[in-house]
């Protein structure tokens, strides 16, 4: 879930952000549909908007009992402490990790490996090489994605999120070559992100690679918007997209329940919530 | 009347989510590292994520070791989570570790890097399933749980109890079958995080409280 100020937003190739709704509505819905983890990425991460991110985390952590990972603009131990204190279980670093690898070492030592997730924004160059970018795919670093992934592995990072910037938000499918190569090189869990446009993209990712998990945005968000009319109230920002109620032709949006049933049919083991009777456990 | 439950704070791990889980099912829980409060409590929750050696060191510094042991000896309900499960055993193989709380005999071991020629990712950070061990689930907080239910795990070490009789749940990680939950008299403890395992996990909090008449 990409967050800008108080809103959940979505772009294409991590750019061109549109407002989709309130993060709390999406978080609750995905939790009830059987999401295994929620990931909030502060895509603008300006200092003065940081408080609204902390509010979103605290509110979510009060009633949503699955792991919560928070990333975007975390540059220091103090930043990491602040989001963990707000109720996050893990943090996701990217720009700061590349600019200051020492931060990863310090953070894994202080908070434990399992608390530190690193994201790599990978872009395929015309010569076929993959390079790591920062700041939502904008900043060139010249760092080779695979070498960087192996370094992170040696630094005992807990988990790795690999984002294909070329595919992100397009619905064209995952970059299978990229994901397969990364999983063959590292021994930490790898989470694939970027490109899912239909259920089959997700199932084929799991059958063709050894990836451990998948992070989904648009595929689920667009289905949520289709099925939940009320979310448009009092939103600010670029909401034209919402009003038009259109999908990109490349997407066949899916609910999380349908997606997980499809995965089960494809013999990919996953946790499925079959009924909502668990609701009664709330007192 | 609601009983007083203390979530023992010894400066390791995120207690916030444990407290939220208690709140959501109506357990009157307070986070505390105060010896007197812990001795006075009707029941204890011992959470924690991190290193065994550091945990025991912190418990000793806070002078809480005897308070916890006495509470258990008096038959008060005890709920250990993650590191809280490991601490109730005799000792850990973690480098430099001394004794644990030694309430149940057993050793804490690290996941090997490979098991039967398969690479194991350490720590295990994953949803994984639980199934019955020697102890029956019927009178435990898992009484309404299905076999092979998914729970959320984050750990590098696991317990090898001296006797199988306390084993409530077993979990398979990359072929390595280990004890992921125990029940012995008033001691209930799990290696996974029920407070991060969605509604099925929260039901464990609820069931622990109801089966022990805490709410």
Domain extent at residue A155: 2-271
The answer to the question of residue A282 being in a domain is no
Supply the pLDDT for residue A256.
Answer: 95
- Flag if B20 and A279 touch (Cβ within 8 Å): no
Please report the pLDDT score of residue A242 as a whole number: 67
Helix (H), strand (E), coil (C) string for chain A: CEEECCEEEEEECCEEEEEEECHHHHHHHHHHCCCCCEEEEECCCCHHHHHHHHHHHHHHHHHCCCCEEEECCCCCHHHHHHHHHHCCCEEEECHHHHHCHHHHHHHHHHHCHHHEEEEEEEEECCCCCEEEEECCCCEEEEEEHHHHHHHHHHCCCCEEEEEECCCCCCCCCCCHHHHHHHHHHCCCCEEEECCCCCHHHHHHHHHHCCCCEEECCHHHHHHHHHHCHHHHCCCCCCCHHHHHCCCCCCCCCCCHHHHHHHHHHCCCCCCCCCCCHHHHHCC
Retrieve residue A277's tokens: 């009777």
Question: Is A264 within the bounds of a domain?
Answer: yes
Domain covering B5-211: architecture: 3-Layer(aba) Sandwich (3.40)
Check residue A283 and give its pLDDT. Answer: 35
Q: Which two tokens stand for residue A205?
A: 């990712």
Catalytic residue among A79, A121, A159, A175: A121
- Can you give the pLDDT at residue A229? 64
pLDDT of residue A278: 45
Separation between Cα atoms, residue B35 and residue B66, nearest integer Å: 9
Q: Are B93 and B109 in contact (CB under 8 A)?
A: yes
Q: What is the pLDDT of residues B152-183, one digit of tens each?
A: 999 999 999 999 999 999 999 999 999 999 99
pLDDT tens per residue across span B105-116:
999 999 999 999
Minimal Cα–Cα distance from B110 to chain A, Å?
A: 15
Within 8 A of B94 by CB-CB distance, chain A residues are none
Q: Give the H/E segment covering residue B120.
A: none
| 3-class secondary-structure state, position B205 | helix
Q: With CB atoms and an 8 Å threshold, state whether B203 touches A283.
A: no
Closest to A182 measured CA to CA, from A155, A157, A201, A163:
A163
Neighbours of B60 (CB within 10 A): 13
Which residues does chain B have within 8 Å of residue A87's beta carbon, measured at their own beta carbons? 16-17, 20
B58/chain A closest Cα distance in angstroms: 15
Q: What is the pLDDT of residue B11?
A: 87
pLDDT score at A47? 59
Percentage of chain B surpassing pLDDT 70? 100
Q: pLDDT value at position A281? A: 41
Give tens-digit pLDDT for B15-70.
889 999 999 999 999 999 999 999 999 999 999 888 899 999 999 999 999 999 99
Q: First-to-last CA distance in chain A?
A: 29
In a structure prediction context, what are the per-residue pLDDT tens digits for chain A, which is 283 residues long?
999 988 999 887 777 788 889 999 999 999 999 999 999 999 887 656 677 889 999 999 999 999 999 999 899 999 999 999 899 999 999 989 999 999 999 999 888 899 999 999 999 999 999 999 988 788 899 999 999 999 999 999 999 999 999 999 899 999 999 999 999 999 999 999 999 999 999 999 999 999 999 999 999 998 988 887 655 555 666 666 666 655 556 789 999 999 999 999 999 999 998 765 444 444 3
- Which of B123, B126, B197 is closest, CB to CB, to A65? B197
Is A147 considered catalytic here? no
Q: Beta strand A130-134 with A68-71: parallel, antiparallel or unpaired?
A: unpaired
- Position A124 scores a pLDDT of 95
Mean model confidence pLDDT for chain B: 95
Domain boundaries, chain B: 5-211
Going by their DSSP bridges, the two strands A130-134 and A139-144 should be labelled as antiparallel
Would you say residue A278 lies in a domain? no
For range B113-141, the mean pLDDT: 94
Residues B139-159: tens digit of each pLDDT: 999 999 999 999 999 999 999
Domain of residue A158, CATH code: 3.20.20.70
CB distance A220 to A199 below 8 Å: no
Q: Per the domain annotation, does A283 fall within a domain? A: no
Q: Residue B94's pLDDT band (boundaries 50, 70, 90)? A: confident
Are residues B157 and B86 in contact, defined by beta-carbon separation less than 8 angstroms? yes
Q: Which of B22, B155, B179, B195 is catalytic?
A: B195
d(CA B86, CA B109): 10
Closest CA to A181 of A145, A127, A143, A134: A145
Reduce the DSSP state of residue B43 to 3 states and report it: strand
* Residue whose C-alpha is closest to residue B104's, from B155, B69, B71, B134: B69
A16–chain B nearest CA distance, Å? 33
What is the C-alpha radius of gyration for chain B, rounded to an integer number of angstroms?
Answer: 16
Closest to B133 in 3D by CA, of B92, B179, B77, B72: B179
Q: Decide if A278 is catalytic.
A: no
Please calculate the CA angle A55-A97-B49 and round it to the nearest 5 degrees: 60
CA distance B78 to B71: 8
If one counts the domains in chain A, the total is 1
> What residue ranges in B56-123 does DSSP mark as E strands?
78-81, 89-92, 104-110, 114-115, 118-119
């Amino acid at each position: 879930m990409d967050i800008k100020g108080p809103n959940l937003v979505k772009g294409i190739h991590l750019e061109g952000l549109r407002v989709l709704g309130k993060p709390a509505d999406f978080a609750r819905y995905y939790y009830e549909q059987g999401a295994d983890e929620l990931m909030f990425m502060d895509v603008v991460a300006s200092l003065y908007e940081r408080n609204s991110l902390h509010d979103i985390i605290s509110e979510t952590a009060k009633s949503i009992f699955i792991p919560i990972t928070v990333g975007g603009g975390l540059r220091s131990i103090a930043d990491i402490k602040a989001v963990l204190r707000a109720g996050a279980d893990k943090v996701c670093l990217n720009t700061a990790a590349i600019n200051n690898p020492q931060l990863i070492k310090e953070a894994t030592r202080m908070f434990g490996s399992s608390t530190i997730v690193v994201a790599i924004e990978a872009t395929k160059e015309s010569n076929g090489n993959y390079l790591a970018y920062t700041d939502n795919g904008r900043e060139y670093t010249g760092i080779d994605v695979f070498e960087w992934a192996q370094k992170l592995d040696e630094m005992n990072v807990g988990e790795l999120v690999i984002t294909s910037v070329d595919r992100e938000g397009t619905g064209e499918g995952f970059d299978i070559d990229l994901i397969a190569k990364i999983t063959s090189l590292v021994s930490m869990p790898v989470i694939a992100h970027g490109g899912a446009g239909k259920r089959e993209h997700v199932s084929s990712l799991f059958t063709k690679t050894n990836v451990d998990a998948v992070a989904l945005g648009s595929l689920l968000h667009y289905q949520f918007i289709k099925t939940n009319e009320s979310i448009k109230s009092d939103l600010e920002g670029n909401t034209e997209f919402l009003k038009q109620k259109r999908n990109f032709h490349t997407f066949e949006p899916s609910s999380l329940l349908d997606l997980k049933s499809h995965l089960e049919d494809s013999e990919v083991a996953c946790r499925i919530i079959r009924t909502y009777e668990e609701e009664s456990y709330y007192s | 009347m609601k009983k007083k439950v203390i979530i023992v704070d010894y400066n390791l791990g995120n207690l916030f989510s444990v407290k939220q889980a208690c709140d959501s099912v109506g357990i009157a829980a307070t986070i505390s590292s105060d010896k007197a409060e812990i001795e006075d409590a009707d029941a204890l929750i011992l959470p924690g994520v991190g290193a065994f050696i550091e945990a025991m060191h912190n418990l000793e510094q806070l002078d809480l070791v005897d308070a916890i042991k006495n509470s258990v000896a008096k038959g008060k309900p005890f709920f250990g989570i993650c590191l809280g499960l490991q601490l109730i055993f005799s000792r850990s193989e973690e480098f430099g570790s001394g004794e644990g709380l030694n309430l149940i005999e057993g050793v804490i071991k690290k996941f090997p890097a490979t098991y039967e020629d398969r690479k194991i990712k350490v720590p295990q950070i994953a949803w994984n399933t639980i199934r019955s061990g020697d102890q029956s689930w019927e009178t435990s907080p898992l009484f309404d749980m299905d076999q092979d239910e998914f729970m959320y795990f984050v750990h590098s070490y696991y317990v090898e109890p001296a006797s199988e009789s306390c084993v409530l749940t077993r979990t398979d990680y990359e072929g390595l079958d280990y004890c992921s939950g125990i029940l012995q008299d008033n001691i209930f403890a799990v290696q996974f995080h029920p407070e991060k395992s969605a509604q099925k996990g929260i039901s464990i909090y609820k069931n622990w409280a109801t089966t022990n008449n805490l709410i």
